[in-house]
Amino acid sequence: MNNKCTFFLFFLFSSTLLNSCDGIFHNIYDERENVSQNDYGFIKISDGENYGIIYVDATAYDRWTYIDLKNKKIDTTNILLEEEEPFEWDFALHRYDTKTHNGSVAESAYTSLEDLWAAGNINFNGFAPDINDSVMVDVSGMMEGIIRYAPSTKNPILSQWMDLNTSTMPPIYTLSNHIYILKMSDGKRAALHFVNYMNPASVKGFITIYYLYPY
C-alpha cells in the first residue's frame, strides 16, 4: 500500500473516531452553566445515548427524593409522614445524604464521564452496601441546639460526594468531584457525577448530577 493510501485511511479512521467521541457526550461538561434552572428532574436526556443530566431540589429536610434511572422518573416521600417508598428507584437524595435500592457503590478515581468512558470496561473494587443510620428531618430548633432525626439507611460511599465541614460557621461545602459507580440489585451499573449543589442564586440543596446508565 502506498503512502497516500495509508495516510488517507489513517485520516478517515481518525476522523470517524473523533466524531464518535464528540457524539458520545456532545460537550456535556461545557453545559454546566446552563443546567441549573427552574425545571427539575431529567432535564437533559441524550438522543440515542445513555447519559444525561438530573436536577434535583433537595432543600427540604423532611423529604427523600427517589431517582429511577431506567424509567427516567423522580418521586419524593415525606419522612415525617412515614410515606412509603416508590416501587422502582435506583438511588435517593436527602439534602446531601444518599441511599440505594438494595445496591452498592464504589468511588472511582475519574472526574469526568468522558475519561471514564474512554477507559473502557473497568472492574471496580470496594463496593459498599447501605448501612443503618439517621438523617436530620427538622432543623427549626438548630439555634437552640435542638435537631430532630429519623432512622434511615445511607450509603457510606455515595454520601462522600459532599464533604460538609460544620466545625466552622458558616459551614464549608466541598464537592469530591469523583465519579461514583452504582451497582444495582439486578447487576446493572450507573456512573454518577455530582457537579453542583446550588442554584444560580447560591441557595444550597439544588443538586446537579451527570449520569451514565447503563454503564
What is the tens place of the pLDDT at every residue in 123-137? 899 999 999 999 989
The whole-number pLDDT of residue 27 equals: 59
**Per-residue model confidence as pLDDT tens digits over 139-189:** 777 677 778 899 999 999 999 999 988 777 777 899 999 999 999 999 999
pLDDT digits (tens, 9 = 90+) for 62-88: 999 999 999 999 999 999 999 999 999
pLDDT at 17 over 80: no
Q: Is the pLDDT of residue 109 over 60?
A: yes
Least confident of 7-21, 34-48, 109-123: 7-21
What pLDDT does residue 26 have? Answer: 59
What's phi and psi for 47, nearest 5 deg?
Answer: -90, 105
Q: Can you spell out the DSSP letters for the chain?
A: --HHHHHHHHHHHHHHHHHHHHHHHTTGGGGGGGS-SS--EEEEE-SSSSEEEEEEE---TTEEEEEETTTTEEEEEETTTTPPPPSS-SEEEETTEEEESS-EEEE-S-SSHHHHHHT-S------EE-EEEEEEEEEEEGGGTEEEEEEEEE-TTGGGGEEEE-SSSS-EEEE---EEEEEPTTS-EEEEEEEEEE-TT--EEEEEEEEES--
At CB < 8 A and 24+ separation, what contacts does 65-73 make? 65/92, 65/93, 65/94, 66/92, 67/91, 67/92, 67/93, 69/190, 69/211, 69/213, 70/213, 72/42, 72/45
* Residues 160, 206, 66, 139, Cα dihedral to 10°: 80
- Rank 3-17, 18-32, 171-185 by mean pLDDT and report only the highest: 171-185
Q: What distances in angstroms separate CA 183 from CA 26, 41, 191, one per listed residue?
A: 25, 21, 9
Task: Give the model's pLDDT for residue 179.
Answer: 97
All three cell numbers of 127: 463496593
pTM for the structure as a whole: 0.83
